[in-house]
Structure 1
Amino acid sequence: MIRKRSLIRRGAAVAAAGTAALVLAACGGSGGSGDSATGHNGHAATSASASASASASASQGQHNTADTAFAQGMVPHHRQAVEMAGLVPSRTKSAEVKKLAEQIKKAQDPEIKTLSGWLTSWGEKVPAEGAMDHSAHGTGGMMTAAEMDKLEKASGKAFDIAFMEMMIKHHEGAVAMAKAEKTEGAFPDAKKMADAVITSQTAEIQKMNELLGKS
C-alpha cells in the first residue's frame, strides 16, 4: 500500500515535470520562430529603460569642467553683446543695423538664462550680474572698457562701423568658445547650444562684413 502511494506520487511529479517542460518548450518555440516578438521586445524594453535612465541622468547635470568653463565664459560674453546691441536704437539710422541688434538680443537673452540655470543646477558659480566681468575684457573677443566707452560716444555712420567691427570680433570669440565646447564638453544641451552659436553667429559675421563692404 505504501509502495503504491509512493508510485502514485512519483507519477504525479513526473507528469508535473513534463507539463513544465512543455510550457517551457512552448515559450522557447515562440521565441525561436518569432524572436523579434519576444526576445527582441524584451531587449528593446531594457534598452529603452537604460536610454531613459541615461537621459534623466544627463538632464540632472552630467557635465565636465569644459561645460562649466563654456557656461561661465559665455554668460558675461552674451551680456556684453546684449549691452552693445542695446546702444543701437538711439545711435543709428540704419534699419539693417537695428535689425541685426534685435536679432542678437533675441538670441542671446534666453541663452543667458539657460546657461545660468545650468550652472545653478550643477552647483557652479554664476558670474555676477552688473559687474560684466571686466577682468574678462580683452579675452574671447570681449570689449575693453575703453572700447565700450568709444562705442557709447559714437553715433550715425561712425557708430555703425564701430559697432559692427567690434561685434565681429566679439562673435569670433564666441564661435571659438563654442568650438572648444563641442570638442571638449560632455553635457548634451551645452554642445547643442554651441552648435547654434556657431551657426547663427557665423551667419551674422558674414552679414556684418557685407554691410561694412557697403559703408
Structure 2
Amino acid sequence: MPKETFMLVSLKEDKAKKLAQAMSSTTCRKILDFLANKEATETEISEKLNIPISTVHYNLSQLKESKLVETEEFHYSKKGKEVLHYKLANKYIIIAPKENDSHIMDALKNLIPVAIIMGVGTAVWKYFAERVGISGVAENTVLKVAAPAIDTAVEVGQAVPEMARIAYDTSVNNVIPIVQSTPAWKYFVFGAVVGIALYFAVDLIRRSMKD
C-alpha cells in the first residue's frame, strides 16, 4: 500500500485535540525541529537537547500518537534491547472545519493526490522546456484554450456551495492576468489550478445529485 503523504483531520475528531496538544508543547516543537535534520533515538535527542530522557519519551509518545513522527528503523543495544529511530512523518496536515461533512472530506482526499501529481508534472514540464528551449506560447492561443475552461468554471461555480464558488472565482481571476505575460511552462501550473477547481466543483455536484 502506498504511503500517504497527507493527514486530513476533522475538528470533530479526537485526533485534532491530540494534534493541538502536541503542537502547543515547547518540548515537542524542539524535538520536531531537531528531527527535521536527521532521525535519532530517544537517547540522542535527550543528550543533544539536554532534556531528561523521561520527558523525551513522553513527548515522543505524543508526537507518534499524533502521527507527526514515525519509527521505521531500529537497532539492538548491547543488552539486546530494541532501540527505535525516530524521524519526521513528512505529511501535509489539513484541518477541516466542523461544518464540513464527509462529502467534502472525501473530495479533499481525492483532490490532494491529484495536486501532488500535477506538481510533479509541472517540474518535469519546466525541465523539458528549459532543456529544449521552448519559446512562449502565443497569447491568443492560450486564451482560446483557457476560455472554455474558464466559462465552464463560472457556470459550475453558480451551482455549487459558497466555498467551492469562492475557490473558482479566486483561481480564475488570478489566472487571466498572469497568463498574458508568463513563460510557456507556467501555463501548465495555471491549467492545473483551473483543473483542480473544476474537479472539486464537479465532484461536489455529482455527490449532491446522489444524495
TM-score of the alignment, normalized to the shorter chain, above 0.5: no
Higher strand share: 2
Normalising by structure 1, we get a TM-score of 0.29
Task: Answer with 1 or 2: which has the greater Rg.
Answer: 1
TM-score computed with the length of structure 2 as normaliser = 0.29
Give the structure with the larger helix fraction: 1
